Amino acid sequence: MEFETWWLLAIPFFFGLGWLAARVDIRHVVSESRSLPRGYFRGLNFLLNDQPDKALDAFIEIVTLDPETIELHFALGNLFRRRGEIERAIRVHQSLLARPDLPQEYKLQSQYELGQDYLKAGLLDRAEETFNLLTDTQYGAQARRMLLEIYQREKEWTRAIDAARGLQESGAGARQKEIAQFYCELAQDELVQTRPDAALALLDKALAADRSNVRAAILAGDAHLAKGDVETALASWRKVEQQSLPHAALVAQRLMDGYRAIGRPQEGVNLLKNYLAEAPSIDLLEVVFKAVLDLDGVEAANQLVSDELRRTPTLLGLDKLLEARLMEAPPEMRSELSLVKNLVHGYAQKLARYQCSHCGFKARQFYWQCPGCSRWESYPPRRTEELNVMN
């Protein structure tokens, strides 16, 4: 390729254009910065230095002196809400909405922020009313998420189902697992009211939404048991092993009681032993231990726990082994063994917790919805110590 001499002339020309553009941009930035209130920079400096109280005072001063600073109103309202000063946050956003000259874009944003204020304050009716005004706007997806949260807090499960479906249809992601859980909540209410047929109809809808929903299978068994159909109840509970074998521990006692009711307890023990071999669990071991103790005696129960402790060494398992040993210990050994057992039991109970895999919230009982973060199906069906041993 030949070298063209006019290229040498073009280089200074393009350099000059770049220098001129940079000068224009710098002047624009300088003029913009000069138009901002001095208090804005003071507030920003306080925020950067991790002094939110002083930053808040600076921003309040700006808003008081210059009511036209709409963005600062939003920043101020958010600061109030984060600090827990909900009444002041509400007043800021209401004052924005009261302005007749407020552009539509900012009006919608003010309504959304006001709805969050009401939600944070626990004023669920007002929050619901506010978010309903936004469902057909650019804030539609966010508003539906907030409405879904409200309906769950109020335990309005039918409305929660509609809200979750609305989110799905808007392209905000799948909500099938949550919808199935909402149907389970409705079915649980029907069981409390001794209406098993109505509960079963709702559980069919739950399984249609999510075929892998373990809770629906468990509740279906409970509904059949309420109707006096033990065989069908057992069949429903046994579906859990196909959906999630670790969750079989949650139905172990139900299965054992059911097999006893139909006069086949040994079949129940054998089934639970198979579960225990494939998915070790201290809760499952507890049920099997009591069943073996009842059917086969202390020695067999002792051997069962001893074998399980070798396979899965946990403090919870040791507690169960000491309980078994205490039953067959000679009288002169029981006092000392009981002391050791009580000591181990005290520590073991501290580890006998279920833990949310999302937020880490620990609880003595198993929850389908975490009390800490409100996530559904975030609790593994094993105790924390078991999970640590497995990891």
What element of type H or E holds 69? none
- The pLDDT assigned to 60 comes to 53
User: Could you identify the residue written with the tokens 């220098």?
Assistant: 19
Closest CA to 213 of 246, 239, 250: 239
Q: What is the mean pLDDT of residues 334-362?
A: 77
The CATH homologous superfamily to which domain 174-243 belongs is Tetratricopeptide repeat domain (1.25.40.10)
What's the rounded Cα separation, in Å, for the pair 267 and 217?
21
Q: Which two tokens stand for residue 93?
A: 């956003």
Q: What is the mean pLDDT of residues 256-261?
A: 96
51-65, 187-201, 357-371: the lowest-pLDDT one: 51-65
61-65, 90-94, 114-118: the lowest-pLDDT one: 61-65
- The pLDDT assigned to 313 comes to 75
**Rounded percentage of the chain residues whose pLDDT exceeds 90:** 41
Q: What is the mean pLDDT of residues 58-70?
A: 53
pLDDT surpasses 50 at 352: yes
What's the rounded Cα separation, in Å, for the pair 330 and 346?
24
Greatest pairwise CA separation for the chain in angstroms: 111
What's the rounded Cα separation, in Å, for the pair 132 and 48?
37
Q: What is the mean pLDDT of residues 248-261?
A: 96
Question: What's the pTM value of the predicted model, to 2 decimals?
Answer: 0.75
Hey, do 174-243 and 244-352 end up sharing a CATH topology, with the first three levels equal?
Answer: yes
User: Could you identify the residue written with the tokens 């919808």?
Assistant: 179
What's the rounded Cα separation, in Å, for the pair 380 and 387?
9
**Rounded percentage of the chain residues whose pLDDT exceeds 70:** 77
pLDDT digits (tens, 9 = 90+) for 219-253: 999 999 999 999 999 999 999 999 999 999 999 99
- For residue 369, the cross-strand partners are 376
SS3 67: coil
| Domain 244-352, CATH class in plain words | mainly alpha
pLDDT surpasses 50 at 296: yes
Task: Give the count of beta carbons closer than 10 Å to the beta carbon of residue 94.
Answer: 13
114-118, 141-145, 171-175, 373-377: the lowest-pLDDT one: 171-175
Using alpha carbons, list the distances in angstroms from residue 103 to 72, 125, 300: 15, 26, 78
Q: Is 370 annotated as a binding residue?
A: yes
pLDDT band at 3 (very low <50, low <70, confident <90, very high): very low
Domain ranges in the chain are 68-172, 174-243, 244-352, 353-391
Taking each continuous run of H as one helix and of E as one strand, the counts in the chain are 20, 2
What's the rounded Cα separation, in Å, for the pair 87 and 110?
15
Which residues in 123-154 are b (16+ Cβ under 10 Å) and which e? bbebbbebbeebbeeebbbbbbbbbbbbbbee
- The pLDDT assigned to 158 comes to 95
Closest CA to 324 of 288, 350, 276: 288
Just give the CATH number of 68-172. Answer: 1.25.40.10
- The pLDDT assigned to 348 comes to 65
pLDDT digits (tens, 9 = 90+) for 96-150: 888 787 788 889 998 999 999 999 998 999 999 999 999 888 998 899 999 999 9
Q: How many residues does the chain have?
A: 391
Q: Is 359 annotated as a binding residue?
A: yes
- The pLDDT assigned to 83 comes to 81
For the chain, give the mean pLDDT: 80
Asked if 323 and 341 touch (Cβ cutoff 8 Å), the reply is: yes
DSSP 248: G
- The pLDDT assigned to 318 comes to 75
- The pLDDT assigned to 61 comes to 54
